[in-house]
């Protein structure tokens, strides 16, 4: 488990009318959620998911507890949508310091987790989108991916059904590593090469988050933009 962990976060409405992204920075738990833009109350869904995740994980900081907390977040959003008679949902990516397995990540949807190590950027999560599945099965090429009509269509999301499939894995976290949790407003506006360069620049985690969000806005990001950076020392 990391001996020292520094964090920073930043979010901006970007090209939208309201910000449906939410951020969680808590003791041993860090997360980003992106409310689904096509549904009403995406901001409610993302905030509710993270609040539920935080509360539930505080009661059980094991890997099993983290997974159960994510399931409870899904249930909370699902029940809220039915109580309100609306449709709502959200992506979720989280990094937790568990008591039994060290650093563990969970994700649902297309909000991402990256790790910068030795100036090399690696995406640690898999997007749950139609396009990502087509790319993994090699049914479309990288060249065609950027303008694919289904590039933003999610195959999984928190709160759109009574149950949800959750990806999780233990993380290797070493001194000098930087972890980036972000919504798609960032990586759709900036290339992996740009993110690698910005995440590797001088500054503390808050400086890095501010720089990442500002760069996306300068690139005319048409979505909410959120970045959360963890630096391991």
Mean pLDDT confidence for 3-20: 93
Q: Are 87 and 160 in contact (CB under 8 A)?
A: yes
Please give the CATH topology (third level) of the domain spanning 5-232.
Answer: Phosphatase 2c; domain 1 (3.60.40)
What distance in Å separates the CA atoms of residue 59 and residue 141, rounded to the nearest whole number? 45
Q: Is the pLDDT of residue 220 over 90?
A: yes
Indicate the SS3 state at residue 167: strand
Q: What pLDDT score was predicted for residue 147?
A: 61
pLDDT tens profile 111-133: 999 999 999 999 999 999 986 67
Q: What pLDDT score was predicted for residue 130?
A: 80
- Residues in contact with 50: Cβ distance below 8 Å, sequence separation at least 6, in sequence order: 22, 23, 24, 31, 33, 73, 92
Q: Are 15 and 56 in contact (CB under 8 A)?
A: no
Q: Does the reported pTM lie above 0.85?
A: yes
What distance in Å separates the CA atoms of residue 62 and residue 97, rounded to the nearest whole number? 9
Domain boundaries, the chain: 5-232
Instruction: Report the percent of the chain where pLDDT is more than 70.
Output: 89
């Amino acid at each position: 488990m990391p001996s020292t962990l520094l964090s920073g976060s930043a979010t901006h409405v970007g090209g939208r009318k309201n910000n449906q992204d939410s951020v969680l920075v808590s003791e041993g738990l860090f997360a980003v959620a992106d409310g689904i833009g096509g549904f009403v109350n995406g901001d409610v869904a993302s905030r509710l998911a993270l609040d539920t995740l935080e509360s539930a994980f505080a009661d059980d900081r094991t890997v099993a507890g983290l997974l159960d907390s994510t399931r409870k977040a899904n249930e909370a959003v699902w029940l809220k949508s039915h109580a309100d008679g609306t449709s709502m949902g959200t992506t979720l990516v989280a990094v937790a310091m568990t008591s039994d397995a060290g650093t563990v990540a969970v994700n649902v949807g297309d909000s991402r987790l990256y790790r910068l190590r030795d100036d090399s950027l690696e995406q640690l999560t898999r997007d749950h989108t139609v396009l990502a599945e087509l790319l993994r099965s090699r049914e479309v090429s990288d060249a065609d991916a950027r303008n694919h009509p289904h590039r933003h269509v999610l195959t999984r999301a928190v709160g759109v059904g009574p149950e949800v499939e959750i990806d999780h894995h233990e993380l290797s976290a070493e001194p000098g590593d930087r972890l980036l949790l972000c919504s798609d407003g960032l990586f759709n506006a900036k290339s992996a090469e740009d993110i690698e360069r910005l995440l590797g620049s001088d500054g503390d985690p808050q400086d890095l988050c501010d720089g990442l969000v500002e760069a996306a806005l300068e690139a005319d990001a048409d979505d909410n933009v959120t970045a959360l950076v963890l630096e391991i020392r």
